[in-house]
């Protein structure tokens, strides 16, 4: 059996080990410096492009135009460093020209201050981008920022990285001479370099299994910090999963305690009753309580499945949202008729292709229809629609029921929140499930008022397939 050498023995036996590490650290520092200068030059080019666009902004009949010649547009799209993406929006964030889906700058970068310049990083079309946001006044004499147009210009960071790598390659060769002098510090450096690893090992060994706090990174070597960061990220995700489970258990226990106690009480009452009429009435109440408890259990399980930390992978497959919405709506027709509610489906599209989990999307629509049918008064109507948006598909469930007050339209997505005075039985989980499922599909769920201030419109936005 071959005896495994320690890391220190290997580093000392092969001088190339620590020397290459020192070379890598030096190269990393030089690369960071080179990248800073490259970013500075490219950022200035971005700003100049934004300023050029700003010079072409015209105001005619109180409307803002960008008089950008076709030649200038071609230069922007085929620049020397790659294509430039731009977006110009007016004082009220109205679209003027450019790429309408270009990510907006952070809030602190979009403050309405004239001539404010801010660089930021973002993603666009699945690629990392570097962008500049520039505000240009379009109404002379305004000092508050109202009447300023926001110009955004972005480009991919690929060209920057390639140029920085080209610079660093020409710097690495001279740095190789430093390796000879670095060899003198290998012996001392190995012992000092491994000391934080030993401290980290002792830190992990001495921890309790309930301690999921982050490991300290301050004393760790730069090469070890990515590993510590990954471990801390794993601990954070593990803690979030445990917290989710504990929260679900606590919520389930809290919500089930009352109905289970009620079922037990009604059962004991039925056992003590002798008159058939009394027993029948008690059994009817027991049946209603059991039905409500079963619905609560089903919604709790649906919420557990919909949560990101639930451990159930999202089954993303192509599906027709029109077909799914029409079939689900058809299943709810008997229940709607039982309450004298006109339930219908309407869509101008022949098909609406999305990617998602059919089971979860159907569960989401079931909860929306359950709320609409449950809270709409007899004689009302509920309409399910699927519409086509510029970048996403929209699933809408609209009713003419009592509606939701504007102040509570965001709170209804919280767990166990119910609108007072609705007069209908509910658990307060339906819309929480809806939002969790929408978010897990990369979309969102919003509540708005119906036409003429009557009813509720629940709108689900789902992204198109890539």
**Residues 294, 296, 297, 303, CA torsion sign:** positive
Residue 140 scores a pLDDT above 60: no
Residues 337 and 395 in one domain: yes
d(CA 290, CA 339) in angstroms, rounded, equals: 21
Residues 287 and 327 in one domain: no
pLDDT digits (tens, 9 = 90+) for 340-379: 999 999 888 888 888 888 888 888 888 888 888 888 889 8
For residue 253, the model assigns a pLDDT of: 61
Number of domains in the chain: 3
pLDDT digits (tens, 9 = 90+) for 171-183: 777 777 767 666 6
pLDDT band (50, 70, 90) for residue 109: very low
Q: Which of 11-20, 59-68, 82-91, 158-167 has the lowest mean pLDDT?
A: 11-20
Q: Is residue 219 part of a domain?
A: no
Helical (H) or strand (E) element with 326: helix 321-338
Q: Is residue 6 part of a domain?
A: no
More confident residue, 465 or 344: 344
Residues 352 and 398 in one domain: yes
Residue 156 pairs in a beta bridge with: 129
Average pLDDT over residues 178-201: 71
Residues 83 and 104 in one domain: yes
Residues 153 and 252 in one domain: no
Q: Which of 30-34, 102-106, 313-317, 461-465 has the lowest mean pLDDT?
A: 313-317
pLDDT band (50, 70, 90) for residue 143: very low
d(CA 423, CA 378) in angstroms, rounded, equals: 13
d(CA 46, CA 87) in angstroms, rounded, equals: 13
Q: Is residue 224 part of a domain?
A: no
Residue 442 scores a pLDDT above 80: yes
Helices (H), 387-450: 430-440
pLDDT band (50, 70, 90) for residue 439: confident
For residue 98, the model assigns a pLDDT of: 84
For residue 133, the model assigns a pLDDT of: 92
pLDDT band (50, 70, 90) for residue 418: low
Residue 310 scores a pLDDT above 60: no
For residue 419, the model assigns a pLDDT of: 59
Q: What dihedral angle (degrees, nearest 10) is formed by the CA atoms of 250, 253, 254, 260?
A: 180
For residue 298, the model assigns a pLDDT of: 64
pLDDT band (50, 70, 90) for residue 303: low
pLDDT band (50, 70, 90) for residue 144: very low
Residue 416 scores a pLDDT above 80: no
pLDDT band (50, 70, 90) for residue 425: low
Q: Is residue 30 part of a domain?
A: yes
What SS3 string covers 42-53? Answer: HHHHHHHHHHHH
Contact at 8 Å (CB) between 50 and 66? Answer: no
Residue 422 scores a pLDDT above 80: no
Residue 325 scores a pLDDT above 70: yes
Residue 283 sits in which domain range?
A: 245-310
pLDDT band (50, 70, 90) for residue 11: low
d(CA 30, CA 243) in angstroms, rounded, equals: 43
Residues 299 and 321 in one domain: no
d(CA 363, CA 299) in angstroms, rounded, equals: 10
- Distance from CA of residue 192 to its chain's centroid? 42
Residues 298 and 324 in one domain: no
More confident residue, 223 or 464: 464
The winner for highest mean pLDDT among 156-165, 208-217, 329-338, 348-357 is: 329-338
Q: Is residue 328 part of a domain?
A: yes
Residues 293 and 329 in one domain: no
Q: Which of 45-54, 89-98, 313-322 has the lowest mean pLDDT?
A: 313-322
Average pLDDT over residues 51-62: 83
Phi first, then psi, for residue 386 (nearest 5°) are -125, 120
Residues 321 and 301 in one domain: no
For residue 226, the model assigns a pLDDT of: 84
Residue 268 scores a pLDDT above 60: yes
Residues 299 and 322 in one domain: no
Residues 389 and 253 in one domain: no
pLDDT digits (tens, 9 = 90+) for 374-389: 888 898 899 999 988 7
Residues 335 and 304 in one domain: no
* Exposed/middle/buried for residue 279 (C-beta within 10 Å: 0-12, 13-18, 19+): middle
- The mean pLDDT value of the chain amounts to 77
Q: Is residue 200 part of a domain?
A: no
pTM over 0.75: no
Residue 187 scores a pLDDT above 70: no
For residue 212, the model assigns a pLDDT of: 79
For residue 142, the model assigns a pLDDT of: 45
pLDDT digits (tens, 9 = 90+) for 61-102: 778 888 777 766 666 665 545 678 889 988 888 888 888 888
For residue 308, the model assigns a pLDDT of: 57
Q: Is residue 11 part of a domain?
A: no
Last residue of a domain, one of 310, 338, 362: 310
The single residue listed with the structure tokens 């009394």 is: 278
d(CA 100, CA 86) in angstroms, rounded, equals: 9
Angle of the 321-338 helix axis to the 358-375 helix axis, nearest 10: 30
């Amino acid at each position: 059996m071959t005896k495994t050498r320690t890391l220190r023995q290997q580093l000392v036996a092969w001088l190339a080990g620590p020397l290459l590490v020192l070379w890598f650290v030096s190269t990393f520092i030089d690369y960071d410096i080179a990248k800073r200068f490259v970013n500075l030059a490219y950022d200035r080019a971005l700003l100049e492009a934004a300023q050029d666009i700003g010079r072409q902004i015209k105001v005619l009949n109180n409307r803002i135009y960008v008089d950008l010649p076709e030649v200038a547009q071609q230069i922007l799209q085929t620049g020397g460093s790659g294509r430039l993406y731009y977006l110009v929006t007016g004082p009220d964030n109205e679209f003027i020209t450019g790429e309408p889906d270009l990510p907006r700058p952070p809030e602190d970068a979009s403050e309405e201050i004239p001539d404010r310049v801010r660089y930021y990083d973002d993603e666009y079309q699945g690629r990392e981008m570097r962008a500049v946001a520039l505000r240009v006044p379009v109404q002379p004499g305004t000092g508050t920022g109202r009447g300023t147009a926001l110009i955004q210009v972005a480009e991919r960071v690929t060209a920057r990285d390639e140029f920085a790598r080209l610079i660093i390659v020409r710097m690495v060769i001279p740095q190789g001479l430093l390796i000879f002098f670095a060899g003198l510090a290998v012996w001392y450096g190995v012992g000092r370099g491994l000391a934080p690893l030993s401290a980290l090992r002792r830190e992990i060994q001495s921890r309790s299994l309930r301690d999921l706090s982050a490991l300290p990174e301050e004393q760790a070597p730069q090469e070890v910090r990515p590993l510590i960061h990954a471990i801390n990220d794993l601990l954070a995700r593990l803690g979030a999963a445990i917290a989710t489970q504990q929260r679900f258990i606590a919520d389930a226990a809290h919500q089930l305690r009352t109905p289970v106690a009620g079922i037990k009480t009604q059962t004991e009452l039925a056992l003590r009753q002798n008159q058939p009429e009394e027993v029948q009435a008690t059994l009817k109440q027991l049946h209603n309580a059991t039905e409500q408890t079963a619905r609560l259990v089903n919604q709790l399980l649906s919420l557990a499945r919909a949560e990101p930390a639930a451990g159930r992978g999202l089954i993303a497959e192509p599906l027709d949202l029109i077909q799914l919405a029409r079939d689900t709506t058809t299943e709810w027709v008997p229940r709607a008729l039982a309450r004298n509610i006109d339930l219908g489906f309407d869509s101008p599209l022949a098909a609406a292709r999305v990617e998602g989990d059919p089971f979860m999307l159907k569960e989401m629509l079931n909860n929306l229809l359950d709320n609409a049918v449950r809270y709409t008064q007899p004689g009302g109507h509920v309409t399910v629609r699927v519409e086509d948006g510029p970048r996403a598909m929209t699933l809408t469930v609209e009713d003419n029921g009592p509606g939701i007050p504007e102040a509570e339209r965001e709170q209804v997505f919280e767990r166990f929140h119910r609108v007072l005075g609705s007069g209908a039985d509910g658990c307060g989980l339906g819309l929480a499930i809806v939002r969790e499922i929408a978010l897990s599909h990369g979309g969102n769920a919003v509540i708005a008022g119906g036409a003429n201030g009557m009813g509720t419109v629940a709108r689900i936005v789902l992204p198109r397939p890539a």
